[in-house]
Amino acid sequence: MRFKLKHFLFNAFRELFLYHHSSLEFRAKLFAAVIAADLEADECEYALVKEAGMKIYDDGDRADALVLTTREYVEKVIENNGLDIDMLVEDIIKSLRAKPRFADKIDIEQLRPLLECRHDPDIRIYQTRILELFSRLKKEYGTEAASEEGKRSTENRTP
């Protein structure tokens, strides 16, 4: 009961309680896209999200917030509650277009362990394709790509 109340309050007031909540939500969407590819998420995935959250934030509360937010997105996809996996991926791409710096938050090595929670080869292939997409997006929108674009535009100017 206490967990459900905390979860409800957190979701209702996430923007007020969390510093840089949009960054945390972006990361949660990345984790959720990989997890929801299975439609049968269990505690294996969420334990890995918690572990990754501790590595990212070194703060138990923020790691818990990452798990709760990820769980919320996964549940929306699984329950077909106004969100499906394609819409989730589109939202990730939209976020990258709006804030290309979020590409630096894509860490394939933190997402890859999620594949070990499932033993169905078809699901693993689907999850691998999602990781490959995220890797391409990181390259396309990452700081290196942005700095290269900036260099090109500077070089193309005539003095």
CA distances from residue 23 to 19, 48, 122, 129 in whole angstroms, order as listed: 9, 19, 31, 23
| Tokens 């945390």, residue located | 24
Which residues, 6 or more positions from 156, have their beta carbon under 8 angstroms from its beta carbon? none
Residue type, 59: D
Which residues, 6 or more positions from 142, have their beta carbon under 8 angstroms from its beta carbon? 100, 103, 104, 106
Distance CA 49, CA 30 (A): 11
- At 119 the pLDDT is 86
User: In Å, how far from its chain's centre is CA 144?
Assistant: 20
Positions in the chain short of pLDDT 50: 13-20, 152-154, 156-159
Crossing angle for the helix pair 85-98 and 121-141, nearest 10 degrees? 10
- At 38 the pLDDT is 86
25, 69 contact by CB (below 8 A): yes
Q: What is the pLDDT of residues 76-113, one digit of tens each?
A: 999 887 889 999 999 999 999 999 999 999 999 999 99
Provide the mean pLDDT of the chain: 84
- At 16 the pLDDT is 43
Distance CA 156, CA 159 (A): 10
Handedness of CA 30, 39, 46, 121 (dihedral sign): negative
- For the record, the structure tokens of 1 come out as 């009961």
